[in-house]
Amino acid sequence: MNSPQFGRLYFVIIGHRDQPLFEFEALKQEENLSIPREDYRHLCQFVAHAALDAVEANLTGPTGTQMFFKNIDRFNEWSVSAFVTTSQIKFLLLHPVRDESQSALRKEEADIIRNFFFAVYEHFIKLMLNPFYELDSEITSRGFREKVHQSVKKHLLNL
C-alpha cells in the first residue's frame, strides 16, 4: 500500500436517500495526483457511496447502537470511517490507510477520527436547530462549511 498521505481527506454527509448533503475535500494544493482532480473526487464519491452498504450492515448488526464505525470499508489506499447520527444521517470520512508498521498511530487514529466526528456532529446539531434548515436537504450554510473546515484543521490535518 502507499505510504500514508495525510491531507488527502474526503468528508461527506449523506442523507436518507443516498444523496450527498455536504462534501468537503481536504487536498493539499501542492499534492501531485496521478489522475485529474475531478476524477479523483469522483473516485472518492464512488467509494463513499459503496461504503454505505457496510454502514447499513453495521447498523443492523450487533454493533448497531454505536455511532462511530472505524474502518468499515477500504478501497485502494483509502480507509472509510463512518458516523451515523440518531437521525440516520451518515458522515463518512475517507482517510489514508495506515501501514502495519504504524500500529501505534492506528490506535491513536481511531480517537482522532472519533473526535473529529463528534465535533462535526455538534456543528450539525446546531445546524439542525436552525428553523430554516430542513432535515435531509443540502447544506449550503457557509458558516457550517467554515466550522467543518476548522474541525478538519484542528483534528485531522495535524495528525
Partner 1 sequence: MDQHPDFKCSIDDNSGILVAIHVIRTGKTPFAPAQWEQVLEAITRYRLLCFENTPREIHFRYQVRQSCLKQDPPGTPQPIHRRVFGLICLALGEAGSDVEAEKREILHQYNGLLVHYGQTVLDTRCIVFRNSAAETRVGQVEEEDKAEAGLSERQKNGRPSINQSTNQSINQPINQPTNQSTNQSTNQSTNQSTNQSINQSINQSNTSSSLNRANGLIINQSITNANGLGFDLLRPVHKSLSEANLSSAAANSSTATKIAKTYIEIQIRDALRERISQVMEDFLLALFSSVEAKRPMSVPDKADKDWKGSNPSLDKLEPPVKKDGFKFDLGNAQKKKRLGGMRKIFAEWLLIAGLPYPACQYFAQAVDMLQSAKEILLLAAALEGWAAASYCVLPAADSQLALKLTALDEPDRKIILTRTKAASLNGYLVNGFNLHVPDHAKDRKHCLTSDAIYDKLRLAASTYSMGGRGDLELEVSLKLARLFMFLGDRILAHKGLRQATFVKIDALPNDSTERVDRFLTIAQLYEEIGFRRQAALFRLLAADRCIGPGSTPATVAEAFRLTVRSLAPYSLTLSTKPTAHHGWPELQAQVLIKLSATCRSQHAIYSRLLLIILETFSEVLSTAEKEDLLKSLSDVISHHGSPQGEVALEDGGIALADGGIALGVVSLTKIPFVHEFTPMPLPHHLQPLLRPKLKRGISGPFLYTPIKSASQLAVKDAGEADFMWVAHEPCELTLHLSNRLPRELRVDNLTILTGDTSTFESARASLILPPIIGPVFPVVIAGIPLEPGLLTILGYTFSVFGMENRCQLTELTQFQRNPPPRTVRVAPSLPQLKVDTSWPPCDMFVDVGEAVVGTASLVLYNGQRSTCSIKLHNIGREPIESLSVLVSSNDNVTADRCISFDSAALEAALPIKPGDTAELDLNVWAALSFSGAPNTEAASSSLTPQPVPEPLQFVLRIDYSGGPGLLENYYRLLSVAFFIDVIPSVAITHWSILSAEEPEQFYLVIDFDNRTDEEIEVLYPPDKKMLIVGRDRARIPALADRIPLLFSDSLAVAQDACRQHMSEKIDLRWEFVERPISGHCWIGDLTWDPADIEALSLPPVLVEFVCDGATVVKARSDGITVDVGTPVELDVRLTNRFSTRLSGLRVLLGFREESLVSDEVSGHKVALIGGISDVVIDLGREGNETLNCQVVMLVPGVFHLDAIFELAGRRWSVVDTCCVTAAAVASGTAPSSVESSTDL
Give residues in contact with partner 1 (CB under 8 A).
Answer: 17-20, 38, 42, 45-47, 49-50, 52-54, 57-58, 61, 73-76
Looking at the Cβ atoms of 78 and 151, the one nearer to partner 1 is 78
Please tell me whether residue 74 adopts helix, strand or coil conformation.
Answer: strand
CB of 19 to partner 1, least distance (A): 6
| Cα 87 to chain centroid, rounded | 17
Alpha-carbon gap, residue 18 to 32, rounded angstroms:
30
CB of 67 to partner 1, least distance (A): 17
CB of 14 to partner 1, least distance (A): 8
Please tell me whether residue 40 adopts helix, strand or coil conformation.
Answer: helix
Looking at the Cβ atoms of 58 and 102, the one nearer to partner 1 is 58
Which is nearest to 79 in space by CA: 145, 147, 25, 1? 1
Looking at the Cβ atoms of 12 and 147, the one nearer to partner 1 is 12
Please tell me whether residue 118 adopts helix, strand or coil conformation.
Answer: helix
Looking at the Cβ atoms of 50 and 110, the one nearer to partner 1 is 50
CB of 150 to partner 1, least distance (A): 25
DSSP character at residue 15: -
